[in-house]
Copies of this chain bind each other. A is one copy, B any other.
Amino acid sequence: MTLAEKAYVSLRKDIVEGCFAPESPLRLADLSERYGMGFSPLREALNRLQAERLVTAESLRGFRVSAQSLAEFEDALQARLLIETEALRQSMAKGDDAWEASVVAALYALRLQTRRQGGDVDELKLRHHTFHRALLAACGSDWLLDFFERLYAATERYRIPALLSAGPQKRDIDAEHGAIADAVLARDTPRAEALLRDHYLRTAEAIRSGMAPA
């Protein structure tokens, strides 16, 4: 793996996880020290992230972490619902036994981690992402999966602060995931879509309530 690739992975992770505040400048000298590499690989990574809308660039003024706002989040949420319901529909229409098995496996692994007290939160986020991608993986469309990844990263930035300041968890998220998986495996498309939709709308509600109206 080249330095530019490492820079991309590290920067992306740190931005999505909120290590840098939104709109804060990403100065090359700082990044160079933080990640232990020269300017070139960092600039390449920043350019990739710019195309993904995680950072913004202004000519001769460098890069910044993209801004966050409630409007931006609502936009990403709506786009997610559009993309994911369609991808889920197609995935359920086309998925084979191996796909079903991967959904079961992802759900199982996710549950193990949610129930593990004091478990690694990074691992939990990874397994959550894996489960949601597994649901859509058989849709057969590279473009839809690409958009899913973009939107997942964009909304993850909002989800994480909400998770950390999570008050009394009124939701049984394991149960929600389980219900979605059940409907998916039963090939009950309308129910699966409705459950997935509810799942996201509830998360959105939690994020809205925990977010200052910017």
- Which residues in A have some Cβ–Cβ distance to B below 8 Å? 1-2, 4-5, 40, 43-45, 47-53, 59-60, 72, 75-76, 78-79, 82-83, 86, 140-144, 146-147, 151, 154
Q: Bound state CA distance, A49 and B43, in angstroms?
A: 14
Q: Return the chain B residue nearest A60 by Cβ.
A: B2
Excluding A1-B59, A75-B142, 5 further A-B contacts by CB distance (< 8 Å) are: A40-B40, A44-B47, A47-B47, A53-B146, A72-B142
Are the CB atoms of A50 and B48 closer together than 8 Å?
yes
Are the CB atoms of A141 and B86 closer together than 8 Å?
no
Chain B residues within 8 Å of A154, by CB: 143
Q: Bound state CA distance, A50 and B2, in angstroms?
A: 15
Chain B residues within 8 Å of A48, by CB: 47-48, 50-51
Are the CB atoms of B151 and A76 closer together than 8 Å?
no
Given A40-B40, A75-B143, A151-B143, residue A5 in contact with residue B51 (CB < 8 A):
no
Chain B residues within 8 Å of A143, by CB: 75-76, 78-79, 151, 154
Chain B residues within 8 Å of A53, by CB: 146
Partner of A141, one of B5, B49, B78: B78
Chain B residues within 8 Å of A141, by CB: 75, 78-79
Q: Return the chain B residue nearest A146 by Cβ.
A: B53
Smallest distance from the beta carbon of A48 to chain B beta carbons, Å? Answer: 5
Partner of A2, one of B40, B59, B86: B59
Q: Bound state CA distance, A49 and B50, in angstroms?
A: 11
Are the CB atoms of B79 and A5 closer together than 8 Å?
no
